[in-house]
Every structure is written in structure tokens, then in C-alpha cells.
């Protein structure tokens, strides 16, 4: 009887041990190991014990034997994001913000079709955004401000129909703003502050009925503010200073009753728009760049 009990205990112990180490697929675990290696995991603020189960690793959430979340915010990651990140196909949230990541954002990240949150702000990433970015159809939040990203903003961004937050401020993007952004019917925040964007503001912005923040300051945009912008009834923050805009005449009849901040170049405008209860001197530029300071 004792032998049987001891045998059962040993089997139970083995099964518990086996199940704890068999919690994710080999490809997912390998992708995590490559992320650890490529970003100098042994120097992270909080590192991983690679001899333990994946679901005990800091910032990793496992559900139904799949990695669904990675949150390594402000954890001293350095180096490049590996292409194998695209193998974490069940991932819904990826937060690598406020680290020291370098290199380019791998195009394979667009394979993460379940991803709803991608936060890579406050790093040293360079290169362009993947052209196939629009394949991430579940994406609701994309924040990449304060990097060294360059090139043009891909037209495929307009395919991210669920997107609520798009913040690409303080990078080196150039070219025109894609008209396709006007297709983002759920967009609430658009931050393109401090880039090298040129051309006119797309009239398609008038379709962004849920937009609350529109921050385009410190670019090389020009021409008139489109009259369609006057249709944005939920707009609260509107910042377009330090550009080449030369007319606000078409939005004098802006319908919003919620506009709190309107920053523009007063010296370039012959007839300044007048809106009641708007503090045109108030600014949130610094907040735009460091809004994740208290994230975790």
C-alpha cells in the first residue's frame, strides 16, 4: 500500500512538473527566448528565470497555453526586437515602451493579427513602419512616439478600422499625411507632432467623428485648415502651431462645444478665429511625449 501511495505521489509530482513546463508551444517559447537574448535579458531591471515555467516570467501572461500579453515597460531592454516576435500569434498586447531598443521594427510584427495594443514609445527605434501594418486588423492602440522612425506613414494604416489611439509624434516621418487616416472611424487621438510632414491637412479628417485630440504641431504642413475639420464636434485638443498654415477662415464656424485647447500661429493669421472658453495658450506638448510615465 505504501509503495502504491508513494508511486502515485511521484506520478502526480511528475505530471504537475510536466504541465508547468509544457504551458506554451515550442515556437512561442523560442520566440520569447530570442526576445530575451536579443534585448540583453540578463541586464533587465527584472529578468526571467529561464529554468522556470513561462507563465511565471515577469510581464508574460499565458492563457489557454498561449502567450497573450507581454508587458516589459521601463525594464531596461536594449538591442533589437527579433523577427520571431511574429511567431507569438496569440498576442493581444505588447508593451515595450520606455526602454532602449534600437534597430528597426521587424515587418514580421504585422503577423500579430490578434494584437490590440502595441506600445513601443520612448525607445531608439529607426527605419520605417511596415508597409503591411494594415494586416493588424484588431489594433486599437499604436503608440510609437519619441523614436527615430522615418520614411512615410504607410497608407495601410487606414485599414486599422478599430484604431482609437495613433501617436507617432517626435519621430522623423516625412511626406504627406495619408488620406486613408480619414477611414479610421473609431479614432479618438491622433498625434503626429514634431516630424517632417508636409503638404496640406487631409479634408478626410472631417470623417473622424470620434476624434478628441488632433496634434499636428511642429511639422511643415501648409495651406488652409480644411472646412471639414469644423465638423469634428468632439474635438478637445487641437494643436497646429509651428507649421505653414495660412488660413483658418473655413473653421470659424466650428461646431464643437468641447474644445479646450487650440494652439496655432497667431502671427500668421490676419483674422484669428474666436471661440468662447478656449485657452489658446494652454499646451499639452510635453504630456503628449511622456504620457506613459506611470504605466505598468
Instruction: Give the angle subtended at the CA of 185 by the CAs of 162 and 288, to the nearest 5°.
Output: 75
pLDDT at 58 over 90: yes
Closest CA to 58 of 66, 68, 70: 70
Of 22-26, 44-48, 131-135, the poorest mean pLDDT is in 22-26
Instruction: Inform me whether the pLDDT recorded for 94 exceeds 60.
Output: yes
Is residue 143 classed exposed, middle or buried when 0-12, 13-18 and 19+ CB atoms within 10 A define those classes? Answer: buried
Please tell me the predicted confidence (pLDDT) of residue 10.
42
Q: How confident is the model at residue 252 (pLDDT cuts 50, 70, 90)?
A: low
Could you tell me which residue, 289 or 44, shows the higher pLDDT?
44
Report the C-alpha gap between 74 and 296 in whole angstroms. Answer: 8
- State residue 134's pLDDT score: 96
Most confident option among 141-145, 233-237, 242-246, 291-295: 141-145
Q: Which residue has the higher pLDDT, 222 or 4?
A: 222
Amino acid at each position: 500500500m505504501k509503495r502504491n501511495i508513494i508511486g502515485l505521489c511521484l506520478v502526480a509530482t511528475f505530471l504537475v512538473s510536466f504541465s508547468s513546463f509544457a504551458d506554451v508551444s515550442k515556437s512561442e517559447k523560442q520566440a520569447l527566448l530570442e526576445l530575451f537574448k536579443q534585448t540583453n535579458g540578463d541586464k533587465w531591471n527584472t529578468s526571467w528565470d529561464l529554468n522556470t515555467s513561462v507563465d511565471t516570467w515577469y510581464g508574460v501572461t499565458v492563457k489557454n497555453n498561449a502567450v497573450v500579453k507581454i508587458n516589459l515597460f521601463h525594464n531596461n531592454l536594449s538591442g533589437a526586437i527579433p523577427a520571431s516576435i511574429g511567431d507569438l500569434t496569440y498576442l493581444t498586447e505588447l508593451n515595450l515602451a520606455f526602454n532602449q531598443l534600437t534597430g528597426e521594427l521587424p515587418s514580421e510584427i504585422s503577423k500579430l493579427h490578434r494584437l490590440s495594443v502595441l506600445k513601443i514609445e520612448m525607445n531608439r527605434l529607426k527605419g520605417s513602419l511596415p508597409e503591411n501594418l494594415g494586416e493588424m486588423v484588431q489594433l486599437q492602440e499604436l503608440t510609437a512616439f519619441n523614436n527615430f522612425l522615418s520614411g512615410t506613414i504607410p497608407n495601410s494604416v487606414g485599414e486599422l478600422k478599430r484604431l482609437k489611439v495613433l501617436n507617432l509624434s517626435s519621430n522623423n516621418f516625412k511626406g504627406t499625411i495619408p488620406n486613408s487616416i480619414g477611414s479610421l472611424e473609431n479614432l479618438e487621438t491622433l498625434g503626429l507632432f514634431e516630424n517632417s510632414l508636409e503638404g496640406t491637412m487631409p479634408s478626410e479628417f472631417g470623417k473622424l467623428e470620434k476624434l478628441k485630440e488632433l496634434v499636428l504641431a511642429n511639422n511643415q504642413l501648409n495651406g488652409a485648415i480644411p472646412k471639414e475639420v469644423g465638423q469634428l464636434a468632439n474635438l478637445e485638443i487641437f494643436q497646429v502651431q509651428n507649421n505653414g498654415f495660412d488660413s483658418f477662415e473655413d473653421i470659424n464656424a466650428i461646431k464643437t462645444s468641447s474644445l479646450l485647447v487650440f494652439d496655432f500661429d497667431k502671427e500668421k493669421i490676419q483674422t484669428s478665429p474666436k471661440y468662447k472658453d478656449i485657452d489658446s495658450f494652454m499646451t499639452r506638448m510635453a504630456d503628449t511625449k511622456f504620457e506613459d510615465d506611470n504605466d505598468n
